[in-house]
Amino acid sequence: MNSFAKSTLAIIIAGAALSAGVATAQEYPSRDITFLVPYNPGGATDPVSRQFASQLEKILRVNVNVENRPGGSGTIGLGVIVRSKPDGYTIGLSDIGALAYQPLINSGLAYKTPDDYQPIVKLSEQPIVLVVRADARWKNFDEFLAEAKKNPGKMRVGVNGLRTAPDLVIQQFNKVSGTRIVTVPFSGGGGEATIAVLGGRIEAMANSGAGNLGHVRAGTLRALAVFTKGKYEPFPDATPVGDSYDATLGSAFYVVGPKGMPPNVLNKVSSAALQVVKSEEFLKFTKTHVYVADPKDSQEAKADILQFSKTYVDLLKFIEQR
Amino acid sequence: MTTVDGILYGLQVVFTYQNLLAALAGALAGTMIGVLPGIGPVAGIAMILPITYSLGPTAGIIMMAGIFYGAMYGGSTTAILINMPGESASVMTCIDGYKLTQKGRAGAVLTIVALGSFVGGTVAVAGVMLFAPALGQFGILFGPAEFFALTAGGLMILSRISGGTLAAGLFPMAIGIMLSTVGQEAVTGYNRFTFGFNDLSQGIELVALVVGLYGLAEIMLVVETVHRRVRPVKVGLRDMMPTRTEFRRSWAPAGRGTIIGFIFGLLPGPAATLSSFASYRLEKAVSKHRHEIGEGAIEGVAGPETANNAAATSSMVPLLALGIPFNAITALMLAALMVHGIQPGPLLIPNHPEIFWGVIVSMYVGNLVLLFLNIPLIGVWVSMLRVPAYIFLPLIVVLAVIGSYSVRNSIFDVYIFLLVGIIGYVLRKLEFQLAPMVIGMVLGPLIEKHLREGLFMSLGEVSVFVNSPIAITIWILVLIIMTFGIQRALLERLFGIKLGKVALGGNE
């Protein structure tokens, strides 16, 4: 090794040692944060994650890098978050299905309850909308329901996979209203359920509103009902089912991290996160993207997840009894 | 808006600084993504998706479309040169493309592919432009029953796709189907064959499988017998140019490939990949030189490579006309639109003509650019074969590992890549065909999905699968194709009629 290489190496080592020393002494956050999204870009979760990350960046003054880690209905990416080092540099998005439903049917996961991870903030919800073809014989939800009650087990509603949010809310509705509407699972993006409705192969479909808004506005599909309490702004003509039945399960999105984060780190990241979800900019984003804003801090988010868990357990019992 | 107005309007849209740059950057990036083994258009578009968020919606879609069809140009390069498909739509190209390279025709084949891709892409754009709203309705005609017929029937027909003995094709195909069942099952979300490994619940990634099966296995074979490696002589302009015969033999497969690709693009599913299978199979059946296909015939390259470009282009129809993404790539494009608050759906074309016409015109421009970009590059690609093996082979392995990892940011997929590479090596040694394994892997889950969807939809009534005219037509066609050998034997025996012209039965 010649002297130049030696001195270069010495400088590099010294520099590394110095920066390591600075890093430990410095306050959180001192380097880039990884924000994991357990779904493919292209789903409902990616845009909201990137919006959240870009706003978090401005508050914490470090880069927040969004990384997609899809697979296993969101459990693979969530597993990576749960198993990561609790230093506040790995956090990510998760949805209520992966957080509360998957542990009920899947025993091999790295988590079971909200005690196994750290809820940081609740981002938003997405209600489920029931649509039919525009020329269908049911002009409103009451007519649809009347026919469903008359022909139990004959009305078919397309959903994007069994025990996904749209399927579960239909089951919940069956449970509280004593109806038997059948769900038909179309896997692969939800587009196929739309084709099946447009092609007249099934009577209706249920999914988060965003996917069908274009068709409803174009007058090729009609929104009959939305599973919320009170009107859902993007679909003003849809009957809010939640006003008369306790069937309002939808999708809900949270930011979570591994458990055991140091209190100062947790405080900093969760207060910054709360600041983001309560900001004007974020509320405007959720509105244009057909989400429903529901800002909740880490304590409230945890209670929220537990509440969902309870509903799922009851619902699963009902589904299995039948 | 009439077509002429539309084109003029589209030209205005495209020939702005930002949109033109988006088209060129997309086409270039697409070619690179296609050339790099393992990094396919889905991973490539996913990687640049955040960039498109900051572009306008029109520029974003133009760029993503450019990557998609650009990847179809580039994807065949490594398939032809080193028997390693750049993405799954180029699996069929390996068979004849690589054999032709071994015969010293690499430059000519790549030229034919570039020309074929250009033809397929450009003709399909014209089709999209003229018929987009009407063609959007075509996809609606297909439900679970029709798709079950198409995929299950397709599997039967494709089982003999790459020749060899019956077992040499069926055994790998069965393995492919079995591998495709591993992981979280799509309908109910339950885990199958994961043996308690949570990593397995994400399933076996197709890209890792294809790159391992072909690429890694091929590299091991090359290492085993270094002298087997193709050493092309200096590629002059003459070697780059296809001969008159090669040209003459290519245009009919390219024409058929365009039609097949265009139709598959209108249907849900991995259109580019499926159309390349179908086109190869069709050439094996109807081409004049069908006996040579599998042994290094230009038809086996020209058809599938044209088809996948046409499919990439026409798969824009369901997205733009219906707002429904029929494959992973158009789903990403949909996301890019929705990020900008644009609601895809039947109103997209009337409400946002700048997107529709901008994309159409950008595809004409992009295809032209790709043609002029790819022809000079052929010399560069071919000369890469002259890089010493001890540099070239490790480099390919590194690229393949990156490719396998990048699809899902998963180190598990790299392990799969390595494991499958060994399996592929053993299968190749035992003279099994590898293409049927990929076909099983692609079609297996589709068949299961449509079978189950159909049964759910009909409330358990099996007759749903033969109740639709389209499904019945498909099944009859499958039956005719499957029994062609018997039919011909019967005709000969009973009436003394000799059928020499078409051989739909496969292994003639």
- Cβ separation of B201 and A182 shorter than 8 Å? no
Q: CB contact, 8 Å: A104 with chain B?
A: no
pLDDT band, very low/low/confident/very high, at B506 (cuts 50, 70, 90): very low
pLDDT given at position A81: 95
Give the residue from chain B lying closest to A185, CA to CA.
B187
- Cβ separation of B268 and A192 shorter than 8 Å? yes
Q: In a mutagenesis test of the A interface, which of B45, B135, B148, B188 is the best target, namely the one with the most A β-carbons within 10 Å?
A: B188
CB nearest A109 (choices: B198, B335, B339)? B198
Tens of pLDDT along A243-262? 999 999 999 999 999 999 99
- Dihedral sign for Cα A54, A296, A114, A86, please: positive
Answer whether residue A129 shows pLDDT above 80.
yes
- Cβ separation of A195 and B324 shorter than 8 Å? yes
Q: CB contact, 8 Å: A191 with chain B?
A: yes
Answer whether residue A28 shows pLDDT above 70.
yes
Q: What percentage of residues in chain B have a pLDDT greater than 70?
A: 94
Closest CA to B154 of B502, B442, B501, B433: B442
Tens of pLDDT along B103-158? 888 889 999 999 999 999 999 999 998 887 788 788 888 889 999 999 999 898 88
Half-sphere exposure of B5 (CA within 13 A, CB side): 3
The predicted model gives A4-20 an average pLDDT of 50
Tens of pLDDT along A172-217? 999 999 999 999 988 765 578 888 999 999 999 999 888 888 899 9
Give the residue from chain B lying closest to A44, CA to CA.
B335
Give the residue from chain B lying closest to A46, CA to CA.
B335
The yes-or-no answer to whether A30-126+251-321 and A128-243 have a common fold is yes
pLDDT band, very low/low/confident/very high, at A283 (cuts 50, 70, 90): very high
Q: Which two tokens stand for residue B204?
A: 């076996």
Q: Where are the alpha helices (DSSP H) in B36-105?
A: 41-54, 57-82, 91-102
- Cβ separation of A41 and B335 shorter than 8 Å? yes
More confident residue, B39 or A185: A185
User: How far apart are the C-alpha atoms of A237 and B278, rounded to whole Å?
Assistant: 46
Structural contact between residues B334 and A215, judged by C-beta atoms closer than 8 angstroms = no
- Cβ separation of B198 and A213 shorter than 8 Å? no
- Domain ranges in chain A are 30-126+251-321, 128-243
More confident residue, B492 or A24: B492
Average pLDDT, chain B: 85
Structural contact between residues A246 and A176, judged by C-beta atoms closer than 8 angstroms = yes
The predicted model gives A111-140 an average pLDDT of 95
Tens of pLDDT along B288-301? 888 888 888 999 99
- Cβ separation of B268 and A72 shorter than 8 Å? no
User: How far apart are the C-alpha atoms of B87 and B153, rounded to whole Å?
Assistant: 24
Answer whether residue A22 shows pLDDT above 60.
no
Answer whether residue A2 shows pLDDT above 60.
no
Range A30-126+251-321: architecture per CATH? 3-Layer(aba) Sandwich (3.40)
Answer whether residue B222 shows pLDDT above 60.
yes
The predicted model gives B17-34 an average pLDDT of 90
The predicted model gives B44-62 an average pLDDT of 83
Q: Between the ranges A88-92, B162-166, B269-273, where is the mean pLDDT highest?
A: A88-92
Answer whether residue B476 shows pLDDT above 90.
yes
Q: CB contact, 8 Å: B203 with chain A?
A: yes
ipTM > 0.90 for the complex = no
Amino acid (1-letter code) at residue B403: G
CB nearest A191 (choices: B268, B343, B409)? B268
Answer whether residue B497 shows pLDDT above 70.
no
Q: CB contact, 8 Å: A316 with chain B?
A: no
The predicted model gives B256-267 an average pLDDT of 93
**Inter-chain contacts counted by CB atoms under 8 A, chains A and B:** 159
Answer whether residue B421 shows pLDDT above 80.
yes
Give the residue from chain B lying closest to A194, CA to CA.
B324
Average pLDDT, chain A: 88
- Cβ separation of A215 and B323 shorter than 8 Å? yes
The predicted model gives B476-491 an average pLDDT of 81
Q: In a mutagenesis test of the A interface, which of B409, B416, B458 is the best target, namely the one with the most A β-carbons within 10 Å?
A: B409
Structural contact between residues B190 and A105, judged by C-beta atoms closer than 8 angstroms = yes
Give the residue from chain A lying closest to B269, CA to CA.
A188
Q: CB contact, 8 Å: A86 with chain B?
A: no
Answer whether residue B64 shows pLDDT above 50.
yes
CATH class of the domain comprising A128-243: alpha beta
Q: How far does the CA of residue B159 sit from the closest CA of chain A (Å)? A: 25
pLDDT given at position B226: 65
pLDDT given at position A50: 87
